[in-house]
Amino acid sequence: MIVLPYLLTCLLCALTCSARAIHNGRSLVPRAGSLEKVTNFGDNPTNVAMYIYVPNNLASNPGIIVAIHYCTGTAQAYYQGSPYAQLAEKHGFIVIYPESPYEGTCWDVSSQASLTHNGGGNSNSIANMVSWTTKQYNADSSKVFVTGTSSGAMMTNVMAATYPELFAAGIAYAGVAAGCFLSTANQPDAWNSTCSQGQSITTPEHWASIAEAMYPGYSGSRPKMQIYHGSADATLYPQNYYETCKQWAGVFGYNYDAPESTQPNTPEANWQTTTWGPNVQGILAGGVGHNIQIHGDADMKWFGFTS
């Protein structure tokens, strides 16, 4: 008479605990409408933190934008300081905000590991975030994009070179060409003054070969690239704009010295937009320093969310 109620109590407790476990398991799925940390996205060789914004207005088969912060920045800072979360609500895509694991929060765009496809560096961790998100949300793999500012722009170019199969397009705000920060000591998160001061100058063909060597043997499609830079940038000198444009013009086989068009005062007064072909466009902002503004609506056009 006493054993049966006890057994029933234990059974009910077990069922309740199981239900709670399932509920807790579901609670690990990122909530919509807020910046959420994801810790179980797969192999993370360099301990890069993953944060994600899933909009309340999530599209079926959504697109993905990887938005990469600057030195001294964080995922939270880039979430708050860039327009992508607000634009996600309008267009239904998901935003991934990686966060650098290093003191000073610059990105590793200097080690051979990060400059190699599946090499075990920061780029590898970010690529795994994209794969997890694509699978978790049944995202449209043809609508995956990457963008960033400063060190994040450097990583944008590196991601486009190391994982070209993942991205349809990229936008780099005030960065350097992929491979320009290569450390001769193979040091992660290293600063390269030669590159930052605009002294790493070479041909489009050479820059293209550097990018292509980051994924040996790859012969598939590559992301179209848009490059923003300020003409008065004193942190990453303006020559880096030209070298980055050379790199992607070389990758796509465009004649760097003969662009298709050059438009003055576009998209703003004293800015100049140069188009080498449908896959490479550069925007040089006259008189603007390193703190160049993000043009969110124009980004949506480059990424194909608006016409």
Cite the active site residues. Answer: 150
| Structural contact between residues 239 and 183, judged by C-beta atoms closer than 8 angstroms | no
CA distances from 191 to 57, 143, 241, 266 (A): 40, 32, 18, 32
Say which amino acid occupies 146: V
For tokens 């820059």, name the residue: 207
| Structural contact between residues 183 and 192, judged by C-beta atoms closer than 8 angstroms | yes
Question: Sign of the CA dihedral 220, 226, 232, 234?
Answer: negative
What DSSP string runs through the chain?
--HHHHHHHHHHHHHHHHHHHHHHHHHTSPPBTSEEEE--SS--TT--EEEEEB-TTPPSS--EEEEEPPTT--HHHHHHHSSHHHHHHHH--EEEEEE--STT-----SSTTTTSTTSSSHHHHHHHHHHHHHHHTT--TTSEEEEEETHHHHHHHHHHHH-TTT-SEEEEES---TTTT--TT--TT---HHHHTT-----HHHHHHHHHTTSTT--S---EEEEEEETT-SSS-THHHHHHHHHHHHHTT--TTS-SEEEET-SSTTEEEEEEETTEEEEEETT--S-PPP-HHHHHHHHTS--
Say which amino acid occupies 197: Q
